[in-house]
Structure 1
Amino acid sequence: MAGQRGKRGGRLERLAQRAAKPAVDPCPPGQIGGTYKPLSDSDLRRIYDTALDLLEKLGIGEVPDRLHADLLAIGAIDNGKGRVLFPPALVEEAIDQAAKTFTLHGRDSERSIEVGGNKVYFGTGGAAVQTLDMDSGIYRPSTLEDLHDFTRLQDTLANVSWFTRCCVATDVPDNYDLDVNTVFALLKNTTKPTATSFTLAEYVAPIVEMLDIAAGGPGEFSKRPFMKAHISPMISPMRYGEDAVDVVYECIKHNIPISCITAAQAGATAPATLAGFLAQSLAETLGSLLMVHAIQPGYPMVFSNWPLVIDLRTGAFSGGSGETAVLNAASAQLSNWLGLPSGVACSMTDAKAIDAQYGMEKGITSIAAALAGGNLIYESSGMTASLLGASFEGFVLDDEMHSNTYRALRGIEVTDENLGFEAICNAVLEEGHFLGGQHTYAAMERDYFYPTLADRNEPRTWAENGAQDAWGRAKTKAREILSSHNPAYLTPQQEQEIRSRFNILVS
């Protein structure tokens, strides 16, 4: 046995080993979730049955005329009182025929991800109107330049699997220019899967022309769409929003995958009880699915049931609460139980600073959603101040947090080699420890994540290195990335053509 151990010699070699990336990434995106189940089987059935009852007996109001006709054509019922009712068999038909998995393409195919099943991915979302300034440490209005910078920054972060604008360019007052320049920022600065929103349906077709330019020519984008749309066609409680429904029709016409987002708030636009909230929110998100089913059965749609919480004492939105954690985990469990691609929203801290509250709230909410198997976890990077703010340092810190979460999801592989019988015998009979053994080195390469921002030094070494906190370390890294990473994912010809046809507001 002694001959099998092997040792590595030399301090320099060991230091190089520690500095190098592991041969095998111990915690890549797409780990398997679903082990955390806050709802029992009977709980799932009761919530689902209540949602079916709501759709059958209460139905959905304020149905736009075009959608009204399409819904009745597939078997929905007008109750004569301004509401459309959905028989349970129709709901189950929509679920059965829904897309269960589909690809979110990146312009770089190596960055595409498969949505659905039990794989977990962290990504972004949000519409922060303020940015945490890295120089002053104080919030200021978000700008178009910030959006470009956030897009460049996240392009380097392995655990942001898709990028939706995290902030609104408040210095662009015209809605059409805002939508155009948001998409341009994504095209110029990342080749990951992306997502955007459209203020009005008439903005979709011209923006698709811009996407075609980036894709290589007229009609090319729709062949392999690398941008999805975030749409909220359902207004809680239980009614459709006409402008958003119109956007859905246009996106389906142009083959843009969609996330249909329900964002009810407990105690305000949905019941304060968690079970009642889940029943209404599920019914509303099923209402979005029924809309898609009426337009084009099986169309790629992320079932984005996002339970949001308010502080019932003040009415303020609360993104970092324990209730947010368990509600979004339960939402992911419900969606997965139905076999639908799930989208939830977690890691939306209420903290304004990058402090202990920030870390605690992001950690508990994001890992709960991941353990429950949320396929796409939105708002999970860089968001602060109850979604009012976005932070460059936050993006960097959250990326490292996600690596730890993925490592937890990966779990423990029990194999003959990993059980280490021979390694234990060698250590006990020879040197009395496991340091330097080949079994240990193999595990070091394969099984452990080594953070670059979290400080594991002893207090004296930490003090000698400047006693820096996580906020400071993340700020340094964010600045390094922004000073060095200036991608040009549009060719000069593509950019020139876009600028000649659209009002692009950055030089």
Structure 2
Amino acid sequence: MAKSVIRRRGKSGSGREGRLALRAAGPSVNPCPPGQIGGAYRPLSEADLQGIFDTALRLLGSLGMGEVPARLADDLIRAGAQQGSAGRITFPEALVRGAIEGAAKTFTLHGRDPARSIEVGGERVYFGTGGAAVQTLDLDSGAYRPSTLSDLHDFTRLQDTLANISWFTRCCIATDVPDIYDLDVNTAYALLKNTTKPTATAFTIADHVAPIVRMFDIAAGGPGEFAKRPFVKAHISPVISPMRYGEDAVDVVFECIKHGVPVSCITAAQAGATAPATLAGFLAQSLAETLASLVMVHAIRPGFPMVFSNWPLVIDLRTGAFAGGSGETAVLNAASAQLSNWLGLPSGVAASMTDAKAIDAQYGMEKGMTSLAAALAGGNLIYESSGMTASLLGASFEGFVLDDEMHSNTYRALRGIEVSEANLAFDAICEAVLGEGHFLGGAHTLAAMERDYFYPSLANRDEPRTWQMGGAEDAWGAAKRRAQEILATHTPAYLTEAQEAQIRAEFPNIR
């Protein structure tokens, strides 16, 4: 449509009507799709990177890891780890470097729809979700209430329509499903039913992995099919800061590797609480802990797909309150992405974790600052980036919609400026100066409009009088209306009747 409008405008020379038509049509090609290249922001110098890495190696080599489950200890020692003092296991530098060298540097996060698969690693940046919000900002009342299984289904099908959320991790906990097995099963089912994007979930205990993988096999087409193209990864925190393993989570890692479920091993230390308050010391310990997860995976099955998810978290040292929207969070997660990429590992960081409870100025400032920093630093997978509020305690439908548009602007910033002979516009400048004296409607301008500019659908760019005449709707109102429209109309059925029947027959606890 946009191209036909351009041709008419070139012939008729009509002014305002042509521009309005072009504005309404928007570009025919998305100027800022997911997967843009990051890495321009480097908060750490080469010497800084080396110093942090060297300290992490010293920590692993001399202090090592505590509370190592016997099963894992055997595998680690066979791989080259050593028995330290006080029951700790230490990792010689050669073992750590070998794990880095042997790690999967890139791998595919499959979607059940192959067109939605993404390649993790390298320099490309993708926004996705995470979180375990126990409260949901109700779309109708505007008040927080306990999150439900119905909310999880609604969040999953809402994000299914949002182009800038490249994978979906369950963002809330269904507090109305108290049994942990029922919770894990119903969470996995919600992902299968409502989206074909790459997804992620958590397994409360290792015994839940095998039956849920059977559910994935049903959706994939039969026994063993899921492992051929795994479309769900597991979020696991096998390290408990400071510097020890958690047995239940380690058991989940073993089961996921056994069943071919890619893992995102998440370190989530808190500065000043479970890690040093100094940002450099924090990064050294957090890197050591995430490397301990990598060595664990390497000892179990070398090269198994693992997202190196080093998530620095910050608390307000005056009160102990989580500070997910702070400047310290922004620079730490950017530095973490830089460190991971420097090591050549697929990086996962957390951003857009606003502490705001409402969709307000604090929300916009904190989300924009932290997510842009993580993206510019080249975080391959940016978790928690959509819909999360209230220091990760809350999730918002309006937030999902607003954040999706924010990500488009971030991707546009990442795309940068293409300098070429044509783009330098020498001829266009001469033509405008010697001709009509402006660039409106020129072929060079219209081509750039189609190719280079993002046009928001929620952010309002009208002048005040036009905005007031249109009802003076604010961003929260526009996002709420959009979310309501999507939830009223988008009811996907990504499971066939046969798959649905087979899942319900084998899992009668599905709600």
Question: Is the TM value for this pair above 0.5?
Answer: yes
Corresponding residue of 2:218: 213
1:6: Cα distance to partner?
4.7
Corresponding residue of 1:407: 412
1:196: Cα distance to partner?
0.4
Q: Deviations over 1:114-139 (max 9, x none)?
A: 00000000000000000001111110
Q: Is 1:134 aligned with 2:139?
A: yes
8 A contact 1:7–1:438 mirrored in 2: no
For 2:495, the aligned partner's letter is L
Aligned in 2, Cα 1:200/1:426: closer, same or farther, shift over 3 Å? same
Superposed, 1:406-485 pairs within 5 Å as 406-485=411-490
SS at match of 1:230: strand
1:503: Cα distance to partner?
3.2
Corresponding residue of 1:251: 256
SS at match of 2:349: strand
For 1:362, the aligned partner's letter is K
Q: Is 1:376 aligned with 2:381?
A: yes
Corresponding residue of 2:5: none
1:14: Cα distance to partner?
4.1
Superposed, 1:74-473 pairs within 5 Å as 74-473=79-478
1:504: Cα distance to partner?
4.3
For 1:38, the aligned partner's letter is P
1:24: Cα distance to partner?
1.8
8 A contact 2:137–2:145 mirrored in 1: yes
Structure 1 segments unaligned to the other structure (5+ residues): none
1:98: Cα distance to partner?
0.5
1: CA distance, partners of 2:437 / 2:26: 29
8 A contact 2:337–2:347 mirrored in 1: yes
For 1:349, the aligned partner's letter is T
Aligned in 2, Cα 1:311/1:8: closer, same or farther, shift over 3 Å? farther
1:19: Cα distance to partner?
2.1
1:429: Cα distance to partner?
0.4
2: CA distance, partners of 1:261 / 1:398: 23
2: CA distance, partners of 1:398 / 1:436: 32
8 A contact 1:177–1:503 mirrored in 2: no
1:457: Cα distance to partner?
0.5
1:275: Cα distance to partner?
0.3
For 2:485, the aligned partner's letter is E
Q: Deviations over 1:79-117 (max 9, x none)?
A: 142100001111001001100000000000000000000
1: CA distance, partners of 2:312 / 2:464: 41
For 2:297, the aligned partner's letter is V
SS at match of 1:27: coil
2: CA distance, partners of 1:78 / 1:21: 63
2: CA distance, partners of 1:21 / 1:293: 48
TM-score of the superposition, structure 2-length normalised?
0.97
2: CA distance, partners of 1:16 / 1:110: 31
SS at match of 1:103: strand
2: CA distance, partners of 1:13 / 1:498: 54
Range with bigger deviation, 373-382 or 416-425: 416-425
What is the percentage of aligned positions where both structures have the same residue?
A: 79
SS at match of 2:86: coil
Structure 2 segments unaligned to the other structure (5+ residues): 1-8
1:15: Cα distance to partner?
3.4
For 1:364, the aligned partner's letter is M
SS at match of 1:81: helix
2: CA distance, partners of 1:390 / 1:176: 23
Q: Deviations over 1:430-464 (max 9, x none)?
A: 10000010000000000000001001011111111
Q: Deviations over 1:459-498 (max 9, x none)?
A: 1111111111100000000000000000000001111111
Aligned in 2, Cα 1:387/1:171: closer, same or farther, shift over 3 Å? same
8 A contact 1:98–1:298 mirrored in 2: yes
SS at match of 2:176: coil
Aligned in 2, Cα 1:435/1:13: closer, same or farther, shift over 3 Å? closer
